[in-house]
Amino acid sequence: MSFVSRPRFDWRLLSRTLPLGERTLVIGILNLTPDSFSDGGRFSSVDAAVERGLGMLDEGADLLDLGGESTRPGAVEVGAGEEQERVLPVLEGILRERPEAILSVDTYHAATAERVVEAGAEIVNDVSGLMWDAGMGNVCGRLGCGMILMHTRGRPADWARLPALRTEEIVPMVRRELVERVEAGLRAGIAREAIVLDPGFGFGKRGDENYPLLAGLGELRGLGPLLAGVSRKGFLGQSIADLHGGKVPAANARLQVTTAANTAAILAGAHIVRVHDVMAAREAAAVADAVLRGAPG
């Protein structure tokens, strides 16, 4: 079996540049919400959240991604003000303890993006790919932060009503629409070297529709650096339900399938994985990176 080598990039953030491609980077997920699909409510106090973030950094997370609003199906949307009340104290608390930490904030609100970057966040992770707040691109372009642009089909409330996707249309659709998101970012003044792309596993792709995307991730390599966010996703749990008497394992019981999916994503070209379980992801990345180093060419 042979694997295609992963292209290298320099990802320009707010105050520094990260090399991508030499090894896989691991982003630790820090949910600050009461209703996230996996660990909602576990880190609702500032002290608990800061402790969790520092713990992931101690485990070797290269970056942390803080989220103040859940985007799971059925989640209740919150305003930018409430989102900032959840995120800012934790961001500031982590940076007080670890000024060198690289922090990202998962938000589609331009007002939140401005506040968190001014408070020290290096990256804005917009799951809407600049589509849900018309001001996001201009704000991030002006601030000069790093950007993660995700592909999504509609908002979470829409996903259950979306028409099914044919296997052969999934990767071309994601590729085409990610190109549109990059072009929107460039028009808004975001530098191309500041952008990482996320194909949006589970975001408007139901169940097995995610597997053609995972298998075809290599076809997106020409678009730029790629992030894969498959950690504990529902489609992974559905794949092993038959092994558990027809019952889909709970989100926090999907470590092995997450590791398998992370490994597949890295071997297909992902530069970054976004995960709940940092050490397991680092171990998977160490093996996958060694395979890529040993691949011909």
**The tokens of 235 are what?**
């489609």
Q: Token match 């990256």: residue? A: 123
d(CA 229, CA 27): 9
Q: Which residues are catalytic?
A: 233, 274
d(CA 268, CA 199): 13
Q: Centre a 10 Å sphere on the Cβ of residue 272 and count the other Cβ atoms it contains.
A: 25
**The tokens of 130 are what?**
């600049």
Q: Centre a 10 Å sphere on the Cβ of residue 118 and count the other Cβ atoms it contains.
A: 10
What is the distance of C-alpha 69 from the center of its chain? 14
d(CA 35, CA 37): 6
Which of 94, 88, 147 has its CA nearest to residue 115?
Answer: 88
